[in-house]
């Protein structure tokens, strides 16, 4: 792939997002270190949690977290440049994408069942990732940061490998990646959502944007390739969509929980791993009698370096 300079708009947009986040976090200081430490704020579903921010008695951690999380957002234009606009994706960056994808798969699985406050049945029926974060606020923050980076970087790498480009999908991926930073800074209010409470409202907005908007670009890639006759991508798309419908059905019939919420992400991680780090999709073939414009029948599409 010939090197192409990254439009300055990508960097400007992410700097604006990081600046808005920084200003918001500065304004949130008294809320996080004051309001969220009150007994009323720490009482969720009738349970009094000892420390839902992870900073009680250690307020010096707040500016450290604000600085680290802001810097993590400023890394996204660098990810974009290296994965989409460099002449070649280096071996080191490929390893970073692989390690992050595998690590986050393991981390979110472990996180979904951690703690002994609830038994397995409760964790399956109604204990969400956010509720686990009431006991483990720092793990919850890391869950958001790792997952955001893993999904964003591996989706971009998949786009690069397959030669697919879409500014709209890039914007969706960016919105999803940034939105989770809302959720991880606003502790859960428990099983029953009260959208008149800004803490609950923006917590849910961030989570839904991350879950649905952030994962949509991967689904679009699978659909795009499926529509061009590639058989393995058709299977990938149907599996991806089927998992989303299965999750929705389980959320309605069983309840919302971290284990059920993770179903589409486990599937997406597996599919992104297959696209990015195996030869299966590279050996894909167009369906019988399908001849895309400018492509020999039955020949697999050329991947980018």
Give phi and psi for 4, each to the nearest 5: -130, 130
Q: pLDDT tens-digit profile of 111-154?
A: 888 877 777 777 777 788 888 999 999 999 999 999 999 999 99
Instruction: Please provide residue 249's backbone torsions phi and psi, each rounded to the nearest 5 degrees.
Output: -65, -40
Share of the chain above pLDDT 90, in %: 60
State the pLDDT at residue 4. 72
Contact call for residues 218 and 268 (beta carbons, < 8 A): yes
**Each residue's pLDDT tens digit, 33-91:** 999 999 999 999 889 999 999 999 999 999 999 999 999 999 999 999 999 999 899 99
Element (H, E) at 117: none
Confidence tier at 195 by pLDDT (50, 70, 90)? confident
Tell whether the model's pLDDT for residue 289 goes beyond 50.
Answer: no
Give residue 285's pLDDT.
Answer: 58
pLDDT attached to residue 129: 86
The H-assigned helical ranges of the chain are 8-27, 29-33, 39-42, 61-74, 76-80, 91-113, 120-125, 129-135, 137-162, 167-183, 198-208, 216-227, 231-253, 258-261, 263-277
Task: For the chain, give the number of residues.
Answer: 305
Residue with tokens 């393995």: 232
Alpha carbon distance 60, 241 (integer Å): 44
What mean pLDDT comes out for the span 98-109? 95
Residue 182 to residue 73: CA distance in whole angstroms = 12
CB environment 147-166: b (16+ within 10 A), e (fewer): bbbbbbbbbbbbbbbbebee
Mean pLDDT rounded to a whole number for the chain: 87
- Model confidence over 104-113: pLDDT tens digits? 999 999 988 8
Contact 188, 133 (CB under 8 A): yes
Contact 133, 195 (CB under 8 A): no
Q: Domain residues of the chain, as ranges?
A: 88-277
pLDDT in tens, 199-212: 999 999 998 899 88
* pLDDT(301) > 90: no
């Amino acid at each position: 792939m010939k090197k192409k300079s990254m439009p300055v708009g990508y960097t400007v947009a992410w700097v604006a997002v990081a600046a808005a986040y920084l200003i918001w976090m500065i304004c949130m200081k008294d809320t996080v270190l004051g309001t969220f430490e009150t007994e009323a704020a720490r009482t969720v579903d009738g349970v009094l949690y000892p420390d839902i921010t992870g900073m009680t008695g250690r307020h010096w951690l707040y500016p450290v977290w604000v600085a680290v999380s802001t810097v993590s957002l400023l890394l996204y234009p660098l990810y974009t440049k290296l994965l989409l606009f460099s002449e070649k994706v280096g071996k080191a960056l490929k390893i970073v994408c692989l390690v992050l994808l595998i690590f986050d798969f393991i981390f979110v699985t472990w996180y979904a069942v951690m703690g002994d406050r609830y038994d397995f049945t409760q964790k399956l029926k109604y204990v969400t990732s956010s509720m686990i974060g009431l006991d483990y606020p720092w793990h919850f923050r890391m869950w958001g940061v790792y997952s955001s980076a893993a999904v964003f970087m591996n989706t971009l790498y998949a786009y690069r490998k397959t030669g697919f480009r879409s500014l709209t999908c890039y914007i969706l991926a960016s919105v999803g990646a940034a939105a989770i930073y809302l959720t991880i800074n606003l502790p859960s209010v428990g099983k029953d959502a009260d959208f008149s409470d800004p803490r609950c409202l923006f917590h849910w907005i961030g989570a839904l944007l991350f879950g649905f908007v952030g994962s949509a670009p991967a689904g679009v890639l699978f659909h795009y390739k499926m529509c061009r006759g590639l058989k393995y991508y058709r299977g990938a798309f149907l599996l991806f969509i089927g998992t989303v419908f299965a999750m929705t059905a389980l959320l309605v019939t069983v309840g919302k929980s971290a284990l059920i919420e993770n179903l589409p992400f486990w599937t997406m991680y597996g599919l992104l791993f297959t696209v990015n780090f195996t030869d299966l999709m590279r050996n894909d073939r167009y369906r019988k009698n399908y001849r895309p414009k400018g492509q020999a029948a039955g020949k697999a599409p050329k991947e980018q370096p």
